[in-house]
């Protein structure tokens, strides 16, 4: 068992991820940094919840808002 | 008493599990990694809440969203 | 005062318990394992909220969803 | 100042208490055990929210669901 | 800066306080004991949310339900 | 980086502050004491959410209800 | 992996940031101080949720209300 599963995310740095949030929003972007709380930074982030994406550019997202992260295929 | 019941999940690695979430969604997939917060990774994950499943592929799901995990029969 | 009241549950291992959850669901099953967070495993679990029970088989339920546990008479 | 106010409950062991819960339910029963999280066990517990009481017998109730406990007069 | 502001409450022991709760209820009573979580006991407590007060007598109230406490003038 | 940003509040003791709460209420008063949880005491506090202010006098407000504090200009 | 991702914010001190809050409000201002809980101070803060911005001047915002922070391009 990994001490903290967030360490798994290290394989996904610089890759595109899809975040489903607890408020039912969906965010897409390139994973850059993260910490053990799953706080993370994304580059080229977009809110793609609705049909027209909303550009968010570089964001720092608090991990406690995350439902799940779709990781890229290795 | 197990120190942390999440250690029980070690018997279910690589097995198919069903997750009921606190937001009433149901997710199905193959359990890979997990930590003491019940943060976990699933492969071949699908959101099977509605009649038409939605493919999520490999996901990292935050444990605090989980209501219960249906474990496979040993 | 017990250090952690969850230790009281040790007398109820292998007995049938009834769980009332914070989301107003009722789950019935045989108590197997548990930890200090009241995370617990049930065998032969059923969601008996509605008239027709839904079989859940072996489940791991996160303790923070529990309102109360009806314990069997000793 | 008491280190943990839950120690005050020790005077009320084996006495009848009334619990108001955060979900607006009212539970009545005889206080037996408790811990510093206000997790507690009641015997002869009844849900008296509605006019017709619902017997719960012996219950273990998670303290984080409690709004307040009406203590018996000393 | 006080280590824990709850120590300020020590000046208000045996005085009448008014509690506004997070669930919009208002409770009135005489402050007796409290701890660092703002768990507190009131004597002669009354729920004065509605026009007709509801007597609660001696209560132990969990601090995490409190919005604010109106303290008496010194 | 300050160890705890609440130490910044020390410059604002005895000054008038405006609190926006998570429940959409707005409270105005003179900041007196506070701790690292942002629990704070206000003198001459008023609930100014509605057009007619409601006098609260001296209050102790739990920090976890705060959205933001408008600080006075230095 | 950064110990705490909040240290990334040090590069953005004195820069303009946009905050999306969990209550769906949007706040704009100049980032000054912050701590590991993402509690932060903004100068020249404005609530720009609705078409007419509401001036908030200098604010201290509790980090647990934050959904995400749009950081300026480096």
Inter-chain contact A38–B62, Cβ cutoff 8 Å?
yes
| Domain-embedded: residue G68 | no
Average of pLDDT values for B40-49? 96
- Please report the pLDDT score of residue E47 as a whole number: 97
How many contacts (CB atoms, under 8 Å) link A and B? 59
How far apart are the CA of D53 and the nearest CA of chain E, in angstroms? 20
Q: Which chains touch C (3 or more CB pairs under 8 A)?
A: B, D
Inter-chain contact G2–A60, Cβ cutoff 8 Å?
no
- Which pTM value belongs to this model? 0.91
Inter-chain contact G60–F67, Cβ cutoff 8 Å?
no
Cβ contact F7:E1 at 8 Å: yes
Query: What total number of domains does chain E contain?
Result: 1
| Domain-embedded: residue B17 | yes
Residue D4 confidence (pLDDT) above 60: yes
| Domain-embedded: residue G70 | no
Comparing CB atoms, the residue among G3, G64, G71 nearest residue A58 is G71
Cβ contact D55:D46 at 8 Å: yes
Residue C73 confidence (pLDDT) above 60: yes
Inter-chain contact E57–D71, Cβ cutoff 8 Å?
yes
| Domain-embedded: residue B12 | yes
How far apart are the CA of G57 and the nearest CA of chain A, in angstroms? 23
Considering chain E, what percentage of its residues have pLDDT values greater than 90?
Answer: 72
Residues lower than pLDDT 50 in chain G: 1
- Please report the pLDDT score of residue E9 as a whole number: 82
Average pLDDT over all residues of chain G = 90
Q: Which domain holds residue D54?
A: 13-62
- Please report the pLDDT score of residue D3 as a whole number: 63
- Please report the pLDDT score of residue D1 as a whole number: 47
Q: Which H or E element spans position F66?
A: strand F66-70
Question: What is the rounded CA–CA span in Å between residue A16 and residue A46?
Answer: 11
| Model pLDDT for residues A3-53, shown as the tens digit of each residue | 677 677 888 899 999 999 999 999 999 999 998 889 999 999 999 999 999
Instruction: Enter the ipTM.
Output: 0.90
| Domain-embedded: residue D1 | no
| Model pLDDT for residues F13-63, shown as the tens digit of each residue | 999 999 999 999 999 999 999 988 899 999 999 999 999 999 999 999 999
- Please report the pLDDT score of residue B67 as a whole number: 98
| Numbered residues of chain F with Cβ closer than 8 Å to any chain G Cβ | 1-6, 8-9, 22, 38, 63-64, 66-74
Q: Which two tokens stand for residue F63?
A: 């920090």
| Domain-embedded: residue D27 | yes
Inter-chain contact D59–C70, Cβ cutoff 8 Å?
yes
Residue by residue, what is the 3-state secondary structure of B24-70?
CCEEEEEEEEECCCCCEEEEEEEECCCCCCEEEEEEEECHHHEEEEE
Residue in B24, B25, B35 to test binding to A, most A beta-carbons within 10 Å: B35
| Numbered residues of chain E with Cβ closer than 8 Å to any chain D Cβ | 6-7, 10, 21, 23, 27, 33-37, 39-41, 56-62, 64-65
Assign residue F11 the CATH number of its domain.
2.30.30.100
Q: Of E8, E6, E10, E15, which Cα lies nearest the Cα of E66?
A: E6
């Amino acid at each position: 068992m990994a001490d903290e599963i967030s360490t798994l995310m290290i394989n996904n740095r610089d890759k595109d991820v899809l975040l489903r949030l607890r408020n039912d929003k969906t965010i897409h972007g390139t994973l850059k940094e993260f910490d053990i709380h799953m706080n993370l930074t994304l580059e080229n982030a977009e809110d793609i919840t609705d049909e027209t994406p909303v550009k968010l550019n570089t964001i720092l997202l608090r991990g406690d808002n995350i439902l799940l992260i779709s990781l890229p295929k290795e």
